[in-house]
């Protein structure tokens, strides 16, 4: 696993005319994981996108060492295409070999659905397919936005185990989730709504 670090310093996020959060800092090194928690609309998904470099911060800085892979509500899989071909596109794009493809598909238990068009997969199956795509990148930094949505108990445990293995190999994981996420030694960051100071 390549050496990786992820940090944010005095980060602020504004969407439209509204500041979602401000003064937020974090730092993660190899093997560390962070659970982002907080009410709906507080900015967890926006923070994930800031960390990924897909949004520019209103204030503060983000520092990354190592490639980043993002899992969010958009699985980035071609809906009409059979799952195997859709994942195969990303395997070639990320220059992963066949063995890595087979390990990823086996890890998310989708081997019997490779001929099924992505559009016919359930929410949970698409979520697991998106995680396989993350695994194929080989990126040491995983940013996972609601990775347990739509998963049954067995699939939830499997995803938790995959993230644990990733961190155990020296990777970094940031997980935004309303649901409990079982991972040893994971820290928790509760994001609060931004309350502007009253004028004096």
Q: Which residues contact 199 (CB under 8 A, 6 or more apart)?
A: none
Instruction: Tell me the per-residue pLDDT of 46-82, one tens digit each, with 9 for 90 and over.
Output: 999 999 999 999 999 999 999 999 998 888 889 999 9
| pTM of the predicted structure, to 2 decimals | 0.90
Q: Is the pLDDT of residue 120 over 70?
A: yes
Q: Which residues contact 171 (CB under 8 A, 6 or more apart)?
A: 1, 4, 30, 31, 140, 141, 142
* Beta-sheet pairing, 18-28 with 5-15: antiparallel
Q: Which residues contact 43 (CB under 8 A, 6 or more apart)?
A: 13, 15, 20, 21, 191
Q: Is the pLDDT of residue 199 over 70?
A: no
195 pLDDT band (50/70/90 cuts)?
low
């Amino acid at each position: 696993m390549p050496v990786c670090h992820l940090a944010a310093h005095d980060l602020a996020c504004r969407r439209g005319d509204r500041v979602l959060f401000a003064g937020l800092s974090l730092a993660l090194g190899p093997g560390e994981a962070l659970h982002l928690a907080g009410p709906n609309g507080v900015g967890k998904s926006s923070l994930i996108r800031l960390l990924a470099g897909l949004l520019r911060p209103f204030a503060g800085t983000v520092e990354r060492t190592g490639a980043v892979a993002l899992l969010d509500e958009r699985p980035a899989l071609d809906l009409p295409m059979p799952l195997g071909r859709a994942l195969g596109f990303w395997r070639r794009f990320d220059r992963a070999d066949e063995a890595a493809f087979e390990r990823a598909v086996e890890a998310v238990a989708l081997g019997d659905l490779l001929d099924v068009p992505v559009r016919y997969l359930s929410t949970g199956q698409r979520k697991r397919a998106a995680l396989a795509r993350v695994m194929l990148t080989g990126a040491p930094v995983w940013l996972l936005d609601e990775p347990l949505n739509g998963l049954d108990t067995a699939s939830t445990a499997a995803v938790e185990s995959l993230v644990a293995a990733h961190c155990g190999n020296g990777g970094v994981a940031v997980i935004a989730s309303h649901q409990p996420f079982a991972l040893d030694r994971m820290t928790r960051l509760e994001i609060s709504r931004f309350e502007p100071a009253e004028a004096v």
